[in-house]
Structure 1
Amino acid sequence: MTDKQHVSLFPSWRWFGPQDAVTLAEIRQTGAKGVVSALHQIPCGEVWSLHDISQRKEMIESAGLRWNVVESVNVHESIKTASPERDEYIDKYCQTLENLGKSNINTVCYNFMPVLDWTRTQLNFPLKDGSFALRYDPVALAAFEIFILKRPGIENDYTEAQKEAAHAYLQQLSSHEKDVLQRTIMAGLPGTDEVYSPEEFMKHLGVYKEIGVVKLRENLTYFLSKIIPVAESYGINMCIHPDDPPFPILGLPRIVCTEDDLRYIVESVPSLNNGITFCTGSLGARRDNDLPGMIKRLGSKIHFLHLRNVQHNPDGSFYEADHLEGSTDMFAVMKAVIEEQLKRNMMGRTDIAIPMRPDHGHQFLFDADRQFYPGYSAIGRMRGLAELRGLEMGIRNTHVNKWKMIAN
């Protein structure tokens, strides 16, 4: 075995650009080496020019960091719904990939979630230590969906007991709290302040009325069949992000929730460049997902890691726990990742230092007066990154030498 076995994960940090409350100078002090960023100022579906990419890259490099992952080149709704103009938007997407490849940026994260990005019902759930976390409560979602959104056909999706619980929940909310709930659920793309109105959202739902899981999968496969050859030409690893939460909500289909879903996607267009963003928070929100096992079986296709934890509750809710606590065994996850790195080393692969970022983080008192995107405070993520790097080093020091002896 070569010294490549000692290559660690590539510690990275999501940065939303110059408008982000966390500065590049601060990121450099967290222990991160890479920056995960995107050109959020460019409307979804439009081409990222070489000039705009170069400007952002120079900004990051001048701070002593590396722009190693794009998150995300967002996929236009026309592509997801197979609208007549989808090929036009796919061509623009391919041009953006070409420009990123020419700029030596070789990992692109994206998702195929209809309309909304990740969805929570509360952005400031209080924890025992006085910090705040993101939370998903199915009762709160039902209250919004049944009594505020009033989605047609909703009466068939909930039991009478669930409807009663949702009504009781709504009754305890003030007008302001109802407005906050609506804005929290209807938030649009990351890195923007866009919030859908119920009318706008219902219009989107109308488009998806005839698009179920099978059709959405077909649309994703079509998209991948067009972009993966371009990604291969420019050495770009495409990595799809799981749905968050990983189950159907608000009448929208979900197709990136389970191991079977991920396997279907990577096998639908066979290529090493057609890969996965392995998000332990998103996938961990389903109790039936075996995360360490998924890494062992699909690890060769993992190009990017989002590491965070969630705590499940008996009522079906979950909140984002400390990175090393919660319902996911982060030790087993990290051990499986390091084993995957050793496999890549033995195969002679060059992509051993998988980019990893601490995903989301609690908002601590230190950051109380700063305006962050939900989940992206400074100190909470810095704590997560420190804990994850320590866990990684501990596993390497205690296990890699044993594996080396076995291999020899």
Structure 2
Amino acid sequence: MTLLGALALTLQLSAVAPALPPLPTLTVRAGARLQSVPTIRHPDGGIAVRADVLAEALGGQVVTEASGSGRYRFEVGTTGLDLEAGSALVVAAGDTMPLRAGVFRNGGQLYVPLALATELLPRLGAGVLFDPDKAELRRFSTVTVARRPPATRAPQPRVRVDTPGPATRTAPVDNVRNAPAARSASLRQRVVVVDAGHGGPDNGMSGPIGVPTKIYEKTITLSFAKALRAALEQREIQVVMTRTTDTLIALGDRGRIANQAKADLFLSVHVNAANPRWTNPGGARGFETYFLAEAKTEDERRVAAMENEAIRFETDADLTRDDPLGFIMRDMAQNEHLRESGRLAELLQLGMKRVHPGPSRGVKQAGFRVLVTAFMPAVLVEIGFGTNKLEAQYMTDAERQRELASTLADAVVRYLEQYERKVGGGG
């Protein structure tokens, strides 16, 4: 075959062969430093990254436990993962967990599946999160926690610094973005966790009643949570999102994310649904704000049961064990957070009353699982009834979302300023 014939055959084969998608490059942000980590194709499918390059980008290291043993320790901050070449299992703090694919060596280097960075490290509280909106893996700035006054157990705002030291510790959270720089050195950094209810296989509420085209609670809450994030960041508040995509986050993990972030407040956003046994369920309207305490009315218990039902989508949840909710709620009743959560709920409810077209249904209390594990002032906001046609239109309108988010952000600032004056002895 002539050279031209061989070239023609090669071009023909390349034209019919399926083109592989280009490999992505993982961007890692650690403080002000950005580093690109190249990826390769995993032998079993998917994407893999070089372990030592990933660890170095995150400020950690990979340690070979014994020459020729195939065992390694991947360390980031205080989190250590025990890996073994050829195995799809990882050991962390004595727990063995599966990886999406196995650890392997290639060209004398150790590689790990990309999911170890984007899924496992954030879940283990390693001070790492993956922002899918920007395809960016982030290692958080360390946090110096100010000593809280002895007279209260409510949260004290903290100052974030970039240089690790013996008196600092990493705050592992999910989906955080840096807020604008403070206007003055005396302005302390505030951290608020915004939780978009439901997600993934858990659609939450669907509505409106009598309308063929349905909307889902998980979609509205995510869209509104992003609007609220933007409004809070405009007010120089750092925001942590429990989710930024259509994914399922366990109810218990949402509050833990806030604890790991050392957040000042936890706001969980939801959409209400009418009781089908009501006389006119499609006409039910209004907004309400809940804090964690024992429900006083049948409707409070109904709303809590509706939102707590999301636990059935958590495949690893043990639904047969004794429910600790009652014990935790009784313990929290003695906690200053209960009083602060009630005050926060009042300010949020007043703020919504200024712009929301529906009636105010008031501040209420119930046993929401999503609030149980958040050890700080924590509230759940029902921004309207998705089963009502007019309120469904209101909640899905981008301009109305921004307006409602703005008034909630103002209420958050007002609460934080009042709290800071109280603990600081101001007027």
- The TM-score, its normalising length taken from structure 1, stands at 0.26
Q: Bigger relative contact order, structure 1 or 2, given CA contacts below 8 A and separation 6+?
A: 1
- The TM-score, its normalising length taken from structure 2, stands at 0.25
Larger Rg: 2
Judging by fraction of residues, say which structure has more helix. Answer: 1
Judging by fraction of residues, say which structure has more strand. Answer: 2
